[in-house]
Structure 1
Amino acid sequence: MSDQRVIIVGGGSVGLAAAVFLTRHGVTPLVLERQPGISVHPRATGLGPRTMEFLRQAGLEQAVNEVAVDMSAGGAVKMSMHTLASADLSTAAPSAVVGNVWGRSDPSPARLRGVCPQHRLDSVLLPAARDGGARVRFSARVNACAIESGGVAVTLDNGESFDAEYLIAADGVRSTVREQLGIDVGGPGALGEPTVSILFRADLTRYTAGRHFVNCTITNPDAPGLLVTIDGEKEWIFHTRADDMTGVATHFTEERCREHIRVAVGDPGVPVEVVSVLPWRPRGQFAERFGQSRAFLVGDAAHTVPPIGAFGLNTGMADAHNLAWKLAAVLRGDAGPGLLDTYDAERRPVAAMTLAQAMIRLADPTLHWDANATERRAAAGALHAPVVHLGYRYDSTAVIDPNPDLPSTEDVLADLDGTPGSRLPHHRLPGGASTVDLIGTHCTVLAGTHRWIAAASEAADRLGIRVDSHIIPLPRNEFHAWASSVGIEPDGALLVRPDHIIAARIPTTPPAPVRLLDRMLTRILAR
């Protein structure tokens, strides 16, 4: 028997990220992962800007970019061709990876330089979690869990048991924890044809000519599928149709995999090493609730999204980030347990929107990839990708006067306008930092006058918690323009949560700012 405050079941990317985010707040969880180590077979490669903001806040942006495939010099987001050898990439016009997605202006201070397969991301998250004090145990298969008086209990298949105050289930689409808790799932379920994912090594540089792409649809009817960049040179994944979901190992022998890959590449003699073969099928799945008492679902345990638009992994990372600061606030006594109710209230609607957007794109992927498909997106009810990744808004008791309606389905900058419940707008500050970088591990007051700094300090003392505060370091005229852009007067302020979400606008300085902040923080933190 061992005691800790938080147990995370599942040590994939979302589980490890949850551990990293918790350690930043001084909570050192136990992570239990059934696999013997980090998976070598990545299931996702795209990290969105919101995820990169989380990693930037955790001090990991540079480390993740260092292990990512560098496409900053130009590359195609998506290509389609008969075989890889049938196109001369050396003559293709370069295009920035983000150029056809993010539009006229940059809404975020953080960006991945290309693609980062999950096993590379995990190679950063695992040591970061351990360095922060988290314990990560592999080959730890959970077969039972229960919510008990004042905590949770987890039992492994070897009989070993653990107690904790809270449990985070990051154990995937077939979540043992979700099943044990009796939480049902809904949604469309299995989608499309059974598929096999083949991780292989082959030197394809003679065909890529030093150019990169995120993925390439192979239209050759003898080996149709999707070629996905892992390192852009010698490591790749090929997704192709499976005969069924049960006979993959029998039907997709190493030799058959090599033959498929050679046909897709267009070179019958290219040496191919098959590393791993995984059967899978796109799914749309949604838990009926994301939390139950002291247990919470994140990532694929809560929602499974078809793999288009890089929505799945990134939505899971946002789950972990949202939950981590709330758990930490409750554990250190800054917030009441009611704050944890806002996890489901905030994340379920966003995950439902994300699943709906993925389903729309599954019917017509060009709605995602074509930046000029504005009218077709509007007709189909599809939001532009930046809006899905960054523009969502929360509506819960942890936001004062929220407005969940989006003013724009195409321009994410219009959605990031300072409305409570939306992410703090990115504004570049002198020295190169961003307004987003001003937000740490506690609620933060952003203002242009020192009166708010004193008020924040006094309110924090009265409540017995920590509240950060910053004077926005901008020249007077630029500050006035910034204040106007976020919907406050120059003598007003923003109250921002640790997840960069605006908790409240304060349009102008009231007669009693300390009492106002006291009331706002008490409400937001459910004290």
Structure 2
Amino acid sequence: MSTVLVVGGGTVGLSAAVFLSHHGVDVHLVECASGPQVHPRATGVGFRTMELFREVGLDGAVDAVAVDMAGSNLGKVTARTLAEADLPGRPPGPTRARLTADMTYTPVTLRGTCPQSRLDAVLLPAARDRGARVEYGVGLASFEQDADGVTAVLSDGRTVRADYLVAADGARSGVRAALGIGASGPGELGEPMTNTLFRADLTALLGGHSFATCTLTHPDATGMLVTVDGATEWCLHTAGDSAPRADLIRIALGVDDLELEIVSALPWRMRGLVADRFTAGRVFLVGDAAHAVPPLGAFGMNTGVADAHNLAWKLALVLRGEAAPALLDSYDAERRPVALVTLEQAVLRLADPALHWDRGPGGAAGRARVGALNAPVVHAGYRYASGAVIDPRPALPSTEDVALDLDGAPGSRVPHAWIADGVSTLDLVGSRFTVLTADDAWLDAADRAGVAAHAVDLPQIPARGALLVRPDGFVGWRAGDTPDRLAPALAALLGYASA
């Protein structure tokens, strides 16, 4: 019997398989497509997502397949055509090192964008190497759940039994529909689009620069060019859902005789929706099945990966009998509010992209006027308030500086600090409950309780106190001089009793 059945083999489904397997859970993933997606789709991997991959030893592999944007990076470009942007004539943009110099709140770096197709090529073997069974060309035909598990009928006629089902089957989730769970939000946003993946050598047009996106305003070929590999692979997003046209691409690029190859095309439309519930009995929604978020800000995929990470350790502990089933209630309580804020922030950016791209004082002032959060705050500054947090502090100290939000408060991601060469406080957590303290009494209490503990001196830890950090790196309890309360506090976080 498969312990957890994951439906959907996109980035979020594969991430769920990796995280669950990392925690020792038996995973069976089915994906109705014949193989991994070749289309890049999203390209922005956020720093919090990289922290999650670091936890399972994949940050180096993901960085290796990312586009090398270490040199001049122009970020967002706007021009009539790419040729008319005259990139070779522009002064150098900031280097990657300069753009990431102020990211002292995280132990990770990424050398550039990372298309989903490349990311999935890392996640698929990682899931299988950790023991997950991943099947392509097999979908979910139907399922039923009872008090003890889920019975699923697959598209090839097989019946499988699992303790839980994780639905990562996209924005048009069949699992969500079968559960009768509705979704709320603005719905469809903008006109239908076509995302065309093509190959063409644009080196001469780049002039040694890189960029994330180029907005093209030619009246006959309005759209957005997105970097895939920074040299010969690109995506062009254009209005309409008609067949892709090579002549349209040439007009957008401003090179009439350009040699190019159209690889694939993906019709799509922006949507803004959040499921009314993320759980129903033994079934959990993750990724686009739980929330469809417009792409500006690169929040959607990253939020989905964080869903999978949040859920994995909780399922693992419940399945091993180390936590009460009540712990699983915290998944919806924690992740749905994050999705609602993420959707709100993405929609605000649609109305005014400068809210996202402007990193100067003017950008901060503009965000303050409309209630927008700086992008790093959206990615990792959020705080949880659920039964898996003792005395949560949901209010954010800052809407601009994520470092101020990562202050050790219950419900926030544990502060990062280097404690040795290449070792972060995040690394000390090690996917388990962990006590961080500078006080010997707490180290002794942790030893008696069978909880991992590390002696660290952080300004965010109260004098003679400790942080009890959950397996996902979030602070579950910030305690003062009360080491005798460690055991009951841990029981409360595991869903057994109140603290």
Task: Identify the TM-score tier after normalising by the shorter chain.
Answer: over 0.9
Q: Is the 8 A contact 1:76 1:97 kept in 2?
A: no
Where do 4+ consecutive residues of structure 1 move more than 6 Å? none
Partner of 2:403 in structure 1? 413
Amino acid at match of 2:437: A
What secondary structure sits across from 1:361 in the alignment? helix
C-alpha offsets along residues 349-371 of structure 1, whole Å, 9 cap, x if unaligned? 01100001111111111110001
Partner of 1:356 in structure 2? 344
Structure-2 separation of matches of 1:33 and 1:25: 22
Q: How much identity, in percent, do the aligned residues show?
A: 53
Partner of 1:186 in structure 2? 184
Amino acid at match of 2:243: F
Structure 2: runs of 5+ lacking an equivalent: none
Q: Is the 8 A contact 1:4 1:164 kept in 2?
A: yes
Partner of 1:331 in structure 2? 319
2:472 maps to 1:499: yes
Structure-2 separation of matches of 1:92 and 1:176: 50
Q: CA deviation at 1:97?
A: 4.7
Partner of 2:38 in structure 1? 40
Q: CA deviation at 1:431?
A: 1.3
Structure-1 separation of matches of 2:92 and 2:364: 24
Q: How does 1:17-416 map to 2 (within 5 A)?
A: 17-90=15-88, 91-97=90-96, 104-242=102-240, 248=241, 251-253=242-244, 257-372=245-360, 373-416=363-406
C-alpha offsets along residues 397-448 of structure 1, whole Å, 9 cap, x if unaligned? 1101111011111111111111000001111222132111111121000111
Q: CA deviation at 1:394?
A: 0.2
Q: CA deviation at 1:385?
A: 0.6
Partner of 2:486 in structure 1? 517
What secondary structure sits across from 2:413 in the alignment? coil
Structure-1 separation of matches of 2:466 and 2:174: 45
Partner of 1:468 in structure 2? 452
Structure-2 separation of matches of 1:149 and 1:21: 25
Partner of 1:464 in structure 2? none
- Count how many residue pairs are aligned between Structure 1 and Structure 2: 493
Partner of 2:415 in structure 1? 425
Structure-2 separation of matches of 1:32 and 1:450: 48
What secondary structure sits across from 1:283 in the alignment? strand
What secondary structure sits across from 1:495 in the alignment? strand
Partner of 2:447 in structure 1? 457
Specify which of 16, 24, 33 is matched with residue 14 of structure 2: 16
Q: Is the 8 A contact 2:437 2:461 kept in 1?
A: no
Q: CA deviation at 1:157?
A: 2.3
Amino acid at match of 1:382: A
What secondary structure sits across from 1:115 in the alignment? coil
Q: CA deviation at 1:87?
A: 2.8
Structure-2 separation of matches of 1:468 and 1:343: 24
Q: CA deviation at 1:92?
A: 2.8
Structure-2 separation of matches of 1:225 and 1:35: 28
Structure-2 separation of matches of 1:190 and 1:82: 27
Q: TM-score, normalised by structure 1?
A: 0.91
Q: Is the 8 A contact 1:48 1:111 kept in 2?
A: no
Amino acid at match of 2:126: A
Closer, same or farther in 2 for the Cα pair 1:98/1:31, shift >3 Å? farther
Structure-1 separation of matches of 2:274 and 2:143: 21
Q: Is the 8 A contact 2:16 2:308 kept in 1?
A: yes
Amino acid at match of 2:488: R
Q: Is the 8 A contact 1:167 1:296 kept in 2?
A: yes
